[in-house]
């Protein structure tokens, strides 16, 4: 799909991997609607960017933000071409903690509400508009692309990642059925599963934990850079034959069983 003169929704677009994606899309002459609880940095501004303050766990806020975005596309003449679901939270808790207390159900519900249900709601509500797009000129007549963001934890969850791994594994499992559902609308669905990346989540890791994780990396022997995630998004958007798959962005590394 040609990405210039299209509008893309990026949830979690005010920081980290989402922000890098926003910057890539703007550079590629796209319009971007950022759905986030916090605004992006003051340097991220201009006629190609719209910010919609959105709590991804509240359906009415998602609906409002999508309606505002669709109205904006009518002004800019840049149709809604896709959704990149970068909003997410990480939470660590063992099923039974050191005091023999069970995993908090509130924490479980919160992680699912953001990572899984939030992604599902944003995707389904945006799609009701995208399916009406005029097919793109060319061989495949694409109408749009949905990108989900999973994690290496979907494959090799670590101790304390039961809730997080459950959500990221569910996103991975959703990818193929969604792609098959949307084939009749000429809309592709892809998932990216990053390993350890420079982000707000990893910046807060204790130094001992960070060093342990870096020691298990293969090559490159470093955390991924947000721009490398954004470049992967760009490739997915532009390569029409990649569909229904989960791309591991891991540098050949696998998460260890213990930190």
The domain ranges of the chain are 7-248
3-state secondary structure of 70: helix
**Rounded mean pLDDT of 152-163?**
92
Question: What is the rounded CA–CA span in Å between residue 169 and residue 166?
Answer: 5
Average predicted confidence (pLDDT) for the chain? 94
Is residue 211 pLDDT above 90, yes or no?
A: no
Q: Residue 164 catalytic?
A: yes
Question: What is the rounded CA–CA span in Å between residue 60 and residue 54?
Answer: 9
Is residue 257 pLDDT above 90, yes or no?
A: no
Q: Give me Rg for the CA atoms of the chain.
A: 18
Instruction: Give the DSSP letter of residue 37.
Output: S
Superfamily of domain 7-248: NAD(P)-binding Rossmann-like Domain (3.40.50.720)
Question: What is the rounded CA–CA span in Å between residue 212 and residue 216?
Answer: 7
Is residue 72 pLDDT above 70, yes or no?
A: yes
Of 35, 51, 164, 197, the catalytic one is 164
H/E element, 209 = helix 207-215
DSSP string computed for 215-235: HT--SS-SPBPHHHHHHHHHH
Question: What is the rounded CA–CA span in Å between residue 171 and residue 154?
Answer: 9
Question: What is the rounded CA–CA span in Å between residue 78 and residue 8?
Answer: 9
pTM: 0.95
Is residue 259 pLDDT above 70, yes or no?
A: no
Cross-strand partners of 193: 248
Question: What is the rounded CA–CA span in Å between residue 93 and residue 166?
Answer: 13
Question: What is the rounded CA–CA span in Å between residue 129 and residue 125?
Answer: 8
Q: Look up residue 18 and give its two tokens.
A: 């989402």
Q: Look up residue 49 and give its two tokens.
A: 């960017």
At 122-156, the pLDDT tens digits run 999 999 999 999 999 988 999 999 999 999 999 99
């Amino acid at each position: 799909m040609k990405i210039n003169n299209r509008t893309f929704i990026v949830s979690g677009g005010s920081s980290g991997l989402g922000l890098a994606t926003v910057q890539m899309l703007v550079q590629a002459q796209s319009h971007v609607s950022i759905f986030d609880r916090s605004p992006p940095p003051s340097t991220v501004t201009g006629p190609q960017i719209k910010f919609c303050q959105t709590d991804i766990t509240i359906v009415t806020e998602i609906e409002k933000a999508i309606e505002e975005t669709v109205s904006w596309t009518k002004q800019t003449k840049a149709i809604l071409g896709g959704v990149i679901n970068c909003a997410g939270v990480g939470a660590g808790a063992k099923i039974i903690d050191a005091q023999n207390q069970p995993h908090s159900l509130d924490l479980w519900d919160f992680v699912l509400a953001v990572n899984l249900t939030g992604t599902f709601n944003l995707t389904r509500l945006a799609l009701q508009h995208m399916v009406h797009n005029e097919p793109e000129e060319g061989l495949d007549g694409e109408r749009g692309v949905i990108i989900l963001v999973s994690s290496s934890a979907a494959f090799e969850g670590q101790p304390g990642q039961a809730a997080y791994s459950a959500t990221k594994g569910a996103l991975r499992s959703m990818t193929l059925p969604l792609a098959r559902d949307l084939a009749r609308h000429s809309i592709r669905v892809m998932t990216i599963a990053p390993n350890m990346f420079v982000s707000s989540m990893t910046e807060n890791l204790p130094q001992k934990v960070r060093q342990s994780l870096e020691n298990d990396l293969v090559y490159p022997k470093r955390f991924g850079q947000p721009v490398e995630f954004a470049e992967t998004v760009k490739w997915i958007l532009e390569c029409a034959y990649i569909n229904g798959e989960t791309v591991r962005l891991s540098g050949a590394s696998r998460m260890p069983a213990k930190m």
